[in-house]
Amino acid sequence: MNSFFPEIKKNFGFGMMRLPMIGEDVDYEQTSVMVDAFLNAGFNYFDTAHPYIQGLSEVAVNRCLASRHPRERFLLANKLSGGCFQTAEDIRPLFDSQLQACGVEYFDFYLMHAMSAKRHQMYLDTRAYDIAQELKAEGKIRHVGMSFHDTAEVLDKILTDRPELEFVQLQLNYVDWEDHRVQSRACYEVCVKHGKPVIVMEPVKGGALVNLPDAAVAEFKKLGDATPVSYALRYAASFPEVFMVLSGMGNMDMMNDNLSYMKDFQPLNQKETEAVWKVADILIKQNQIACTGCRYCVDGCPAGIPIPDIFALLNKKLAKEEDFDEKAYAAFSVQADACVGCGQCEDACPQKLQIRIALCRLVGLALCHLLLNGLVVA
């Protein structure tokens, strides 16, 4: 039983942002098998959002979970995403469409999505916080919180302005703990200050903590045969104010691996914690692109550049200290040189990455249209 929300059975959640796919559609059959395995292992928390997989995540919730299992057997979290509404009048129709898409009559947890200073003001202007509380009073939401991507100072302001928020979802992993952009430690400490329990997102940093360089693998191998993912998830779940760690599992092998150590969770011991910090130091020194693969940058890219896939190739080169995979890069139907410099990707990026500069350097171009758009290429 969870000490913060007793209806939660364990501290591990199924994040339905990265599901098994068949082409452009979700593999509903495999996802259903994964949902069943998750429930049968004693877990009950599922997380989705309207933008995930361009709306297909909510469809998968309905087809693989809500239509196949009694409502009392699972808890469902959804989110009010800023890109999906513009006015106060848009919110209730959007919310109703989410209930319908997911096949449920209420959400157990509902989050103001990807909050930042700019988005906070938008949610104030559109009465989003107030409308969420109205929906809670009507029994359509059980708990209201937020997910967050900004500085600790901004988080402190939002929680001061809106003390009714019950929990915060943070990006927290052992590489981002001291990162100056993500500020995991500082944001966690703000949550503790305000008495808000924490949900962890990106515990494996979008997969960056899965396939580690040899030196990092060697540190974990000194401890035994546990997978790098196990140390990342257990690290995130070891904090006293963390009541939930989300994992986006893309296949049954990932599910089985995650369940094997989260079913009977044990916090990291001292030796494991020391190994984690040694691995963090190795990874930070590699200076990889801090992309988590959320794909928010891709949805609005006018050129359709597969930015996370390109960055994954670059990071693989850095992690494995090998040549850039030119063959894999050539297979992309759209490449980095298609960038028009509009900056939409950077506006959408929760990690605040300088995406245009990274793409520019990849193709070896000082693109004049970037300069014309006011971007200084360092």
How is the chain split into domains, by residue range?
A: 12-285, 296-372
Side chain identity, residue 301:
C
DSSP 205: G
Average pLDDT taken over every residue of the chain: 90
pLDDT value at position 1?
A: 60
Q: Which residues contact 6 (CB under 8 A, 6 or more apart)?
A: none
Query: Strands 25-26 and 21-22: what pairing?
Result: antiparallel
Q: How far is Cα 372 from Cα 356, in angstroms, rounded to an integer? A: 13
pLDDT value at position 189?
A: 98
pLDDT value at position 321?
A: 59
How many Cα atoms are found within 13 Å in the side-chain-facing hemisphere of 80? 33
Do residues 307 and 301 make contact, with C-beta atoms less than 8 angstroms apart?
yes
Dump the DSSP string for 292-345. ----HHHHT-TT---HHHHHHHHHHHHHHT----HHHHHT-SS-GGG-----HH
pLDDT value at position 368?
A: 39
* Neighbour tally for 253: CB within 10 Å: 9
Low-confidence ranges of the chain (pLDDT < 70): 1, 287-288, 317-325, 361-378
pLDDT value at position 320?
A: 60
Query: Strands 45-47 and 242-247: what pairing?
Result: unpaired
Q: How far is Cα 32 from Cα 41, in angstroms, rounded to an integer? A: 14
171-197 pLDDT, tens digit each: 999 999 999 999 999 999 999 999 999
Do residues 352 and 320 make contact, with C-beta atoms less than 8 angstroms apart?
no
Report the predicted TM-score, pTM, of the whole model to 2 decimal places: 0.86
Residue with tokens 């200290």: 321
Element (H, E) at 236: helix 228-237
pLDDT value at position 304?
A: 82
Q: What's the length of the chain?
A: 378
Q: Which residues pair with 110 in a beta bridge?
A: 78, 144
Q: How far is Cα 221 from Cα 228, in angstroms, rounded to an integer? A: 9
Token pair of 45, please? 């928390």
* Neighbour tally for 42: CB within 10 Å: 13
DSSP 150: S
Q: How far is Cα 47 from Cα 232, in angstroms, rounded to an integer? A: 19
Sign, Cα dihedral of 353, 16, 331, 323 = positive
Q: Does CATH place domain 12-285 in 3.40.630.10?
A: no
pLDDT value at position 297?
A: 84
